[in-house]
Amino acid sequence: MPLTEQSRAHVRGARRADLWRLARVGLAIFFVAAGTARTVAPPVDPLAPAGASRMLLAALEIGGGLLLFVPQLATVGAAVLAAASGALGLALITAVNGPPAWPVLLIALALVAVGYACRPGARARARLERAIDRFMNLHETRARRGSCD
């Protein structure tokens, strides 16, 4: 049975949603693991945050990672983690002879993308756009047939 253009668009949308879900869960696992490792392992880098700031960063990573697991709270979790990653990236950029900051900033960018894709309005707007497209297709079809109903 051949796929219509509408069903192809539906399949593409489902694949895209699966991709964003996979990215969200992957980042969640990464940050929960990183935060847990930060609480257990002693710091090896002299430029690494120490004491209370280290534990605060670990709590933000674990908390934000857990928020990413819940689809309704993924935007909040991504915002928390993107802010923490961005701040850590800026700290690495300003450190003299510090480690490269680009991986941290790329992770922050990925978090912003996931948070943007998971926001509640994205699904509603996509549904509205699909409804408008269906209406316009129906209107064009009727116009071609000469029907004024």
pLDDT at 42 over 70: yes
Q: Could you read off the pLDDT of 54-108 as tens digits, one per residue?
A: 888 889 989 999 998 988 888 888 888 888 887 877 777 776 566 677 777 788 7
Q: Is the pTM of this model over 0.75?
A: no
Q: Distance between CA 75 and CA 81 in Å, rounded?
A: 10
Contact in structure between 149 and 142 (CB atoms under 8 Å): yes
Averaged pLDDT for residues 11-28: 76
Summarize the confidence of residues 50-55 as an average pLDDT. Answer: 76
- Report the pLDDT value the prediction gives residue 63, as an integer from 0 to 100: 93
